Amino acid sequence: MGFIDLLVPQGDKVILSELTKLQGMLPARVTAPIPACMYRNINTGRDDMPPELDFEVFTMLVWVIANREPGDMTLEEVGDRMGMGNVDNLRKIVQEVWYFYTARTRDDVEAVIGGGEAEEDAGAKEPVNPPKSSPSETK
């Protein structure tokens, strides 16, 4: 086996040239590692504030993934097509970003982030006609 045989394609994970390109694009304010940098208030020390997406950085992370597909989409086109009003679609995109930029498996990402499917399954187990609350429980 030759040395070149050790250099295998990364498949569906980020490659060094993509990371290098992305790091050159990220705003100077970004200090968290990729992909955690897609959240604004990560590592702020405030546990009472859940992280929220930094849409500028998030769009850049998604753009790198989208450019693997034929078509050469611009950063603006990717941002326009993410469907910011569609929470389920956005959740899937976030999961793909975590999968692409980390060594985690899809199952690991699903377990950490959680998906809409798990929430939907839990709701499906609820009785069709749940018991009505008593008058003392309503305010």
Q: Is residue 112, in this structure, part of any structural domain at all?
A: yes
Q: Is residue 31, in this structure, part of any structural domain at all?
A: yes
Q: Is residue 137, in this structure, part of any structural domain at all?
A: no
The CB-side HSE value for 9 (13 A sphere, CA atoms) comes to: 2
**What residues make up the domain containing 106?**
11-124
Give CA separation, 94 vs 2, 41, 63, 124, 132, in Å. 38, 16, 12, 24, 37
Q: Is residue 88, in this structure, part of any structural domain at all?
A: yes
Q: Is residue 113, in this structure, part of any structural domain at all?
A: yes
Q: The whole model's pTM is what?
A: 0.73
Helix and strand numbers, DSSP H then E, in the chain: 7, 0
Q: Is residue 133, in this structure, part of any structural domain at all?
A: no
**pLDDT tens, position by position, 66-77:** 999 888 899 999
Helix/strand/coil percentages in the chain, nearest 5: 50, 0, 50
Q: Is residue 139, in this structure, part of any structural domain at all?
A: no
H helix or E strand, kind and range, residue 101 = helix 87-101
Q: Is residue 109, in this structure, part of any structural domain at all?
A: yes
Q: Of 52-56, 113-117, 133-137, give the lowest mean pLDDT range.
A: 133-137
The structural domain count of the chain equals 1
pLDDT grade for 42, boundaries at 50, 70 and 90: low
